[in-house]
Homo-oligomer: A and B are copies of this chain.
Amino acid sequence: MNAETAADLLAAMRRNRPLVHNITNYVAMDITANGLLAVGASPAMVSAVEEAAEFVAVADALVVNIGTLSPPSFAAMQRAAVHAVDLGKPWVLDPVAVGATRYRTEAANDLAGRRPTVIRGNASEILALAGGSDGTRGVDATHGSDQARSAASGLARITGAVVAVTGSVDYVTDGRREAAVENGHPLMTRVTAVGCLASALVGAFLPSTDDALAATVAALTVLGVVGERAAAAADGPGSFRVRLIDELYRIDADAIRRDARIG
């Protein structure tokens, strides 16, 4: 996995303009939809159990995020995940704040067992989901991403998913291979739902390749490079967020080739 592959996947994603079906939390909807539109994908937010499974058939990828979980949205997530697997469509699980409550932990474990293509979380979430910690205090990570590397690898082997731990360095593993993305900026932790956006971007990149690890690394690299560019001229998290969307729109394959730091 290298910068060239990430750059090629960005170009491929833009050509394909994937329809990304999000069942996500209320806080993340705005930045998720706008980030996907800006980067060149087509977002849809379809969460009702009455239609979520049917919509999977129309979409190119599914992203499930448990941030503001409730029984109706959980039912929609379960059905949509089953449908995605049946149809051979990639799907991403974002286990927001797993470990913070029993309800959330049980839901995340249930979904992790439904063969997600990729699981993305911060270190505390991946540790909690892997069972190696009671982990989270709210939604912000209390562990460094390097502390969750072996948990991520174990979780990948158990679930069959590619697992990404995002943080100051992002680690991506399928249980055998591991890649590290060193791009990014601390202001990304001062804007809500940037992690959720990362999961959605992974969903946008998955349909363009059979290599889910490569797609995940590419998506996280693009977001990291964009975050660095946005931070360069930001006065704080408000203007940073605005510029993050601008830069997702402006980023091109050449910039990824030049600025990616993938190890």
Residues of A whose CB lies within 8 Å of any CB of B are: 19, 25-27, 29-30, 33-34, 37-38, 42-48, 50-51, 54-55, 58-59, 67-72, 97, 100-104, 137-140, 190-193, 234-239, 241-250
Contacts and interface: CB of A to CB of B under 8 A. Distances in A.
B235 A239 contact: no
Contact of A71 (B46, B50, B190, B236): B50
Contacts of A69: 48, 50-51
Contacts of A248: 236
Given A25-B45, A70-B47, A101 B235 contact: no
A68 B138 CA distance: 23
21 contacts: A27-B30, A34-B237, A38-B236, A46-B100, A48-B68, A48-B70, A48-B71, A50-B70, A50-B101, A51-B69, A51-B104, A54-B102, A58-B101, A58-B137, A234-B246, A236-B245, A236-B250, A238-B243, A239-B246, A241-B245, A242-B242
A69 B46 CA distance: 8
A124 to B, nearest CB: 12
A236 to B, nearest CB: 3
Given A245-B238, A250-B235, A45 B33 contact: no
**Would you call the interface of chain A mostly helix, strand, loop, or mixed?**
mixed
Given A44-B139, A58-B137, A190-B249, 14 more contacts: A19-B138, A27-B45, A33-B193, A46-B101, A47-B68, A47-B70, A51-B100, A51-B103, A54-B102, A58-B100, A234-B246, A236-B246, A239-B242, A239-B243
Q: Which 5 A-B pairs have the closest CB atoms?
A: A238-B245, A236-B246, A51-B101, A33-B192, A236-B249
Contacts of A34: 191-192, 237-238, 241
Contacts of A45: 25-27, 67-68
A126 B112 CA distance: 39
A138 B58 contact: yes
Nearest to A55: B101
A193 B193 CA distance: 18
Nearest to A34: B192
A51 B42 CA distance: 33
B103 A238 contact: no
